[in-house]
């Protein structure tokens, strides 16, 4: 989180850290020269799955940019140069050890990586300098002579440039040939062969050392110079494998008989010795009994040497130290979701040629509903002025925009009317004004078909028909869809087909979700009027006789808004291509948010099955989780770590499709309005701490009839109170008093004012 100030106060830049990580993701993809998958998760160490091509990076704390580049570059090197599949790695480790393969393979791939990307050299030097200073190898304060050969190899190839190490200080003459061999490695097969050769060599050398070393020893350091000189002869240094073994010194003043007694006692106990694992130490009391008074004045120190040449302690220490950097609060903070192309998109979207006959059959089968063919004619009479106003405003603003972009050029033809002034005026040529053509618009509309809409659906349908009729008048291609999660008529085979419509780890709409195309610019006049009449009858019946209706395909259900937006996200490119559209406008009309949970398609390696996981939350607060969506279709990434997922999806759609998005939150009472103010306009969970802000919003609603915000991903998001259709008409009769007539007239004017304000904002967005 980055903070900066300006004249009006302090602002917080959100998601800076997350987008920094995603920029490193892009860096990893570029270095690997393939579309590898990069994921940040709550894991202990970075790793690369060479089979599935997944680079997993921990969520690190206290991480410099150079160290981050080092770790990413190292893991990408595995992606480039380490063979895919676990067989090669398992076989190589079985021939020697996992630690040997790790150390030698790291040296090879980092050499090749720095040769391929020279710019990484600085990051590697500074990164390993930081790791050394923080003692990630666990040997920072250990003398070189106490570090075994494989660990010195590990440190040399990783940190020699960072620490400016001197080769002759780290390796003896007989060890340098091994260093030269590692420097010349090019393939993984050579790594496996050399690791086995080195492992066998050190193992044989260690076995020879075990036989030659004494079973027990103690190393006594005296404070007097005479004692030091006497003990010098009793210390031997082994230089074959560059390790030190200190033989036990015999005390000058001990009895020969005492030494023999100790030896016999140890033989009786059957003790065995091993120079690698260490020998049992003599107790301090025994030493004091056997030493002379002069020797008792010295400090006696027991030394237990454990140098195992066959394991890499630095490799183990590095892994343990990296675990300390991992941010782990006990939960997986990162959820990665792919957006991939649906292979059966047409099955999620039901065409109007199927929908309209189904609506007719449903209304015909319901005994309580009689289709009134005059409803659409009445609708046109009531809304003719509104539609005409929309058309006029649209054409005027379209013409004004074209005139503002017009350019004037000389035509090359002389203007005879200016010829007389040729001696005074150079501009005597005719001019040509070029007026660019307006953008070709298209519109898609989503209409909420959930159960909570059953008291406002008729008024909402009239608004929808107003917009659809406007589009027909000005020649804008459009499609209107209802969305719900109606599970009727979905067989088991249908559900399985929907489940397999996307790739593994991809966003998967619920199989019950469907977008039903109720109106389209592809309808001719007769079909459009028939569809409009059926929809008005259907919605009027739902609002007034919902409990008696016999609906199947168009029965009201829940609100899968996010699923529907994701389906529409994949439909828009087809819509744009079909109508040759430059500018897409999306309108969403709903009375609430999404159901709350969305799904991804997952694969169980344990059971070898495919299943859907409800791991995507619509509402994420305070950055406790980060849901990272990778759009494989448009090569874009968006992050959801705060607020509603719907807002993040809408904003992503706008970026992908060069699209305007307009949202309408439809409310029918004060409680719903307050919920909308708090959750969508103020975008806060503090229900009691924003009383003054709530008062301002309520006043704005009373005055203007709507409240708008830009915080939900839309260009404009309107909270409006759905009017009763009767309130929109001016009702005056002779029995009414003057005050009643004035009240009715005021309500009618207010309705017209609100409607006109909304229409003006709508036209501004779609012009």
Whole-angstrom Cα distance, residue 233 to residue 250? 11
Task: List the one residue out of 190, 181, 188, 220 whose CA is nearest residue 301.
Answer: 220
- Here the tokens at position 175 are 């060890």
Q: Longest Cα pair distance anywhere in the chain, in angstroms?
A: 140
Q: What is the CA radius of gyration of the chain?
A: 40
Asked if residues 722 and 750 have their Cβ atoms less than 8 Å apart, the reply is: no
Residue 450, exposed/middle/buried by CB under 10 A (0-12, 13-18, 19+)?
Answer: buried
Whole-angstrom Cα distance, residue 639 to residue 627? 6
What string of DSSP letters covers 671-720?
Answer: HHHHHHIIIIIS--S-SSS-HHHHHHHHHHHHHHSEEEESTTSSSEEEEE
> What Å distances lie between residue 622 and 2, 40, 597, 625, CA to CA?
15, 19, 18, 8
Place of tokens 């920094």: 20
Q: What is the mean pLDDT of each run of 10 residues along the chain (767 residues)?
A: 31 38 56 67 68 72 78 81 77 86 91 87 89 87 87 90 88 91 92 91 80 50 44 43 41 43 43 38 43 42 55 83 68 77 88 93 70 78 83 74 54 63 61 54 92 87 89 91 79 74 88 92 92 91 79 88 95 93 90 85 77 83 73 88 89 93 89 88 71 88 85 90 57 58 52 56 66
What string of DSSP letters covers 70-136?
Answer: HHHHHHHHHHHHSPSSHHHHHHHHHHS-HHHHHHHHHHHHHHHHHHH-TTHHHHHHHHHHHHHHTTT
Whole-angstrom Cα distance, residue 412 to residue 403? 23
**362 three-state secondary structure:** helix
Question: What is the per-residue pLDDT for 643?
Answer: 83
Asked if residues 763 and 390 have their Cβ atoms less than 8 Å apart, the reply is: yes
> What Å distances lie between residue 202 and 23, 93, 135, 199, 211, CA to CA?
44, 16, 26, 5, 15
Local structure of residue 459 (DSSP, 8 states): H
> What Å distances lie between residue 381 and 387, 467, 521, 729, CA to CA?
10, 15, 21, 11
Task: List the one residue out of 347, 594, 358 whose CA is nearest residue 491.
Answer: 347
Asked if residues 476 and 396 have their Cβ atoms less than 8 Å apart, the reply is: no
Provide the 10 A C-beta neighbour count for residue 305.
17
**510 three-state secondary structure:** coil
Three-class secondary structure assignment of 188-231: HHHHHHHHHHHHHHHHHHHHHHHHHCCCCCCEEECCCHHHHHHH
pLDDT digits (tens, 9 = 90+) for 678-698: 888 887 666 666 788 888 999
Whole-angstrom Cα distance, residue 607 to residue 381? 63
Q: Give the pairing type, strands 349-350 and 514-520.
A: parallel
Phi, psi values for residue 417, rounded to 5°: -70, -20
Task: List the one residue out of 656, 660, 653 whose CA is nearest residue 583.
Answer: 660
Which run of H or of E encompasses 414?
strand 407-414
* Residues in CB range of 220: below 8 A, 6 or more apart: 231, 249, 251, 287, 295, 298, 299, 300, 301
Question: What is the per-residue pLDDT for 516?
Answer: 94
Whole-angstrom Cα distance, residue 149 to residue 182? 13
Task: List the one residue out of 534, 501, 492, 525 whose CA is nearest residue 355.
Answer: 534
Q: Give the pairing type, strands 507-508 and 478-484.
A: unpaired
pTM of the model: 0.65
Residue 737, exposed/middle/buried by CB under 10 A (0-12, 13-18, 19+)?
Answer: exposed
Domain ranges of the chain: 14-211+312-325, 219-251+286-302, 349-403+438-488+511-591+618-766
Whole-angstrom Cα distance, residue 193 to residue 96? 9
Phi, psi values for residue 275, rounded to 5°: -70, -20
User: Which segments within 276-354 are labelled E, that is strand?
Assistant: 299-301, 334-339, 349-350
Tally the C-alpha atoms within 13 A of residue 380's C-alpha that lie toward its C-beta: 10
**517 three-state secondary structure:** strand
* Residues in CB range of 255: below 8 A, 6 or more apart: 290
Task: List the one residue out of 442, 434, 436 whose CA is nearest residue 398.
Answer: 436
Whole-angstrom Cα distance, residue 128 to residue 131? 5
């Amino acid at each position: 989180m980055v903070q900066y100030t300006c004249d009006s106060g302090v602002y917080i830049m959100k998601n800076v850290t997350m987008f920094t990580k995603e920029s490193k993701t892009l860096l990893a993809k570029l270095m690997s020269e393939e579309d590898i998958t990069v994921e940040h998760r709550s894991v202990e160490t970075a790793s690369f799955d060479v089979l599935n091509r997944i680079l997993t990076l921990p969520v690190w704390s206290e991480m410099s940019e150079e160290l981050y580049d080092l770790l990413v570059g190292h893991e990408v090197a595995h992606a480039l140069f380490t063979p895919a599949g676990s067989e090669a790695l398992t076989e190589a480790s079985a021939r020697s050890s996992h630690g040997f393969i790790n150390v030698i393979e790291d040296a090879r791939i980092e050499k090749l990586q720095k040769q391929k990307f020279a710019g990484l050299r600085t990051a590697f030097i500074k990164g390993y300098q930081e790791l050394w200073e923080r003692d990630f190898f666990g040997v920072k304060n250990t003398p070189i002579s106490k570090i075994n050969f494989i660990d010195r190899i590990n440190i040399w190839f990783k940190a020699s440039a960072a620490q400016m190490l001197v080769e002759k200080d780290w390796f003896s003459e007989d060890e340098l040939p091994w260093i030269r061999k590692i420097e010349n490695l090019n393939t993984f097969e050579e790594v496996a062969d050399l690791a086995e050769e080195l492992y066998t060599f050190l193992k044989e050398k260690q076995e020879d050392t075990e036989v030659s070393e004494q079973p027990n020893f103690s190393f006594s350091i005296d404070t007097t110079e005479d004692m030091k000189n006497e003990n010098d002869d009793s210390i031997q240094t082994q230089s074959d494998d560059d390790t030190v073994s200190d033989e036990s010194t015999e005390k000058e003043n001990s009895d020969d008989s005492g030494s023999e007694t100790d030896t016999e006692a140890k033989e009786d106990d059957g003790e065995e010795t091993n120079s690698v694992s260490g020998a049992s130490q003599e107790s301090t009391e025994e030493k004091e009994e056997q030493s002379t008074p002069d020797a008792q004045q010295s400090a006696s120190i027991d030394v237990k040497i454990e140098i195992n040449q066959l394991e890499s302690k630095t490799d183990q220490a590095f892994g343990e130290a990296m675990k300390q950097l991992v941010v782990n609060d006990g939960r997986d903070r990162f959820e990665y979701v792919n957006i991939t192309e649906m292979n059966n998109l047409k099955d999620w979207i039901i065409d109007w040629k199927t929908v309209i006959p189904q609506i007719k059959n449903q209304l015909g089968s319901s005994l309580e509903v009689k289709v009134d063919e005059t409803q659409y004619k009445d609708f046109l009479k009531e809304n003719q002025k509104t539609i005409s106003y929309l058309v006029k405003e649209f054409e005027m603003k379209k013409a004004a925009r074209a005139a503002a972009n017009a350019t004037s050029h000389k035509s090359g033809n002389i203007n005879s009317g200016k010829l007389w002034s040729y001696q005074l005026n150079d501009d005597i040529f005719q001019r040509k004004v070029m007026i660019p053509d307006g953008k070709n618009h298209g519109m898609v509309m989503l209409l909420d078909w959930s159960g909570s809409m059953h008291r406002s659906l008729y008024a909402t349908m009239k608004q929808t028909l107003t917009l659809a009729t406007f589009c027909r008048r000005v020649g804008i291609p459009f499609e209107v869809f209802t969305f719900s999660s109606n599970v009727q008529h979905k067989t088991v085979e249908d559900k399985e087909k929907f489940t397999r419509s996307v790739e593994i780890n991809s966003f998967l709409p619920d199989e019950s979700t469907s977008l039903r195309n109720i109106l389209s610019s592809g309808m001719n006049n007769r079909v459009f009027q028939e569809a409009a009449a059926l929809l008005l009858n259907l919605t009027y019946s739902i609002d007034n006789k919902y409990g008696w209706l016999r609906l199947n395909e168009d029965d009201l259900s829940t609100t899968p808004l996010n699923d529907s937006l994701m389906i529409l996200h994949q439909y828009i490119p087809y819509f744009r291509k079909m109508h040759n559209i430059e500018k897409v406008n999306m309108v969403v009309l709903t009375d609430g948010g999404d159901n709350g949970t969305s799904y991804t398609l997952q694969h169980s390696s344990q059971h070898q099955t495919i299943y859907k996981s409800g791991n995507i939350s619509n509402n994420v607060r305070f950055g406790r989780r980060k849901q990272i969506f990778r759009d494989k279709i448009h090569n874009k990434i968006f992050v959801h770590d705060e607020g509603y997922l719907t807002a993040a999806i809408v904003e992503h759609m706008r970026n992908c499709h060069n699209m305007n998005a307009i949202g309408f939150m439809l409310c029918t009472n004060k409680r719903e309005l307050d919920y909308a103010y708090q959750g969508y306009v103020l975008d806060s969970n503090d229900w009691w701490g924003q009383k003054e802000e709530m008062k301002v919003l309520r006043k704005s609603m009373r005055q203007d009839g709507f409240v708008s915000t830009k915080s939900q991903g839309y260009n404009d998001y309107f909270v409006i109170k759905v009017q009763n259709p009767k309130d929109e008409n001016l009702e005056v009769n002779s029995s009414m008093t003057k005050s009643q007539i004035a009240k009715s007239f005021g309500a009618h004017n207010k309705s017209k004012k609100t409607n006109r304000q909304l229409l003006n904002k709508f036209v501004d967005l779609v012009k």
